[in-house]
Amino acid sequence: MEKLVIEGGRRLEGTVTISGAKNACLPIIAATLLSDDKSVIRNVPNLRDMSTMVKILKNLGVTVQQDGDTLTIIPGGYKKHIAPYELVSTMRASICVLGPLLGKHGKAEVSFPGGCVIGPRPIDLHIKGLEAIGAKIKVERGYVIADGRKMKGGHVYLGGHFGSSVLATANTMMAAVLTGGVTVIENAACEPEVADLTMFLIKMGANIKGGGTHRLIIEGVKKLHGADHSVIPDRIEAGTYILAAAITKGDVTVKHAKLEHNLALMDKLTEAGLEIKKVPSGLRVRYVRKIKPLDLTTLPYPGFPTDMQAQFMSLMTVTDGISVITEKIYPNRFTHTSELARMGADIQIEGPTAIVKGVKSLSGAPVMASDLRASAALVLAGLVAKGRTDIRRIYHLDRGYECLDKKLNALGAKVWREKDK
């Protein structure tokens, strides 16, 4: 096992290139199961989660070839419909093979998913969406066992306690594209990643209207064909590097970053005093004045993303004044606060709200990552902290950030990996 070591106090400057979006790529890879034909997926990030999804497809009998950041996927009439525990349990997004297997074969057995520990993330909306179009679902032995042989178009509302669900929308949509009749999904997730999946399905021959909105209308077709598609850039990776520039008082061009995918984050950072400008290659981010403390609340897209909450908190720990951060998506998503406190941060938790009192500086310390975005928050804190920070359990980072240490070093950071005893 490895740990990440950061020698803090270095200003970041230069250009960083953003990889393909993990949260778009995973359901798109799963969607290739809906056809027997070859599909080509480009701009695929080199991440542990991609490797897991490829293993799941191969386990189902699908041929997958990789050449750099391009996957060639050839389902070729695969027959299996079971996604086993030993693979699915390592990654929550692997549940998104449920919809394609139901749509293609009319049956599926998928283990309950795993992933980061950031509080309860039930799959009730997945089940609700699939049952609304006629699937029969039961849970046995830790598996979701679904029968979709009598599926037909239906009307479903996918609102949950904390808003719409990206993966539940994806699963319902992928099951519906090969199901006879018309399916209407109300309160569908409208994140860019869902819109990207919709575009891929349309390229495959699906009949979908309303992509990127809260209302999807899907008219089932009899057959889909393969498609060639380039995945959108990762808005969360882009946001993380933007915050890295802010916390180190840097000047960084974030190549491929799309302003329209990160409007809520950009609005808050501009309000705080960061300079953000569109350039031909993406976005240029410059620290030009003292950052101000802010209040923010995470909300479903296009609101402030929960996946940026932890990283934003790191910036606020060294911002003079008091900031208030309220988590409305995953109210327990504050595991990073105790580790930031080890580095000298002053944070108080009151229910779903964190009250952050800025300190003059953080100090390097040994810390432990608890989930993907908490890991990124600790990296940002380490970049600005005095001295050495050792971050353990960085396998979380490798699930969502491609070549993080190399990209940061190219910007002037001092980051390296060591074996963890």
Cα–chain center distance at 237: 9
Strand order in the sheet with 251-255: 13-17, 251-255, 282-287, 274-279
Distance of alpha carbon 279 from alpha carbon 52, whole angstroms = 35
Distance of alpha carbon 199 from alpha carbon 205, whole angstroms = 10
Given 25, 96, 116, 190, which residue is catalytic?
Answer: 116
Among 284, 318, 306, 316, which Cα is nearest to 374's?
A: 306
Please give the span between the terminal C-alpha atoms of the chain, in angstroms, as a whole number: 8
Phi, psi dihedrals of residue 279, rounded to the nearest 5°? -130, 165
Angle between helices 309-317 and 263-272 (to 10 degrees): 10
Cα–chain center distance at 317: 24
Confirm whether 116 is a catalytic residue. Answer: yes
Other Cβ atoms less than 10 A from the Cβ of 229: the count is 23
| CA dist 178 → 190, 210, 371 (Å) | 21, 17, 35
Instruction: Give the SS3 label for residue 271.
Output: helix
Residues labelled catalytic? 116
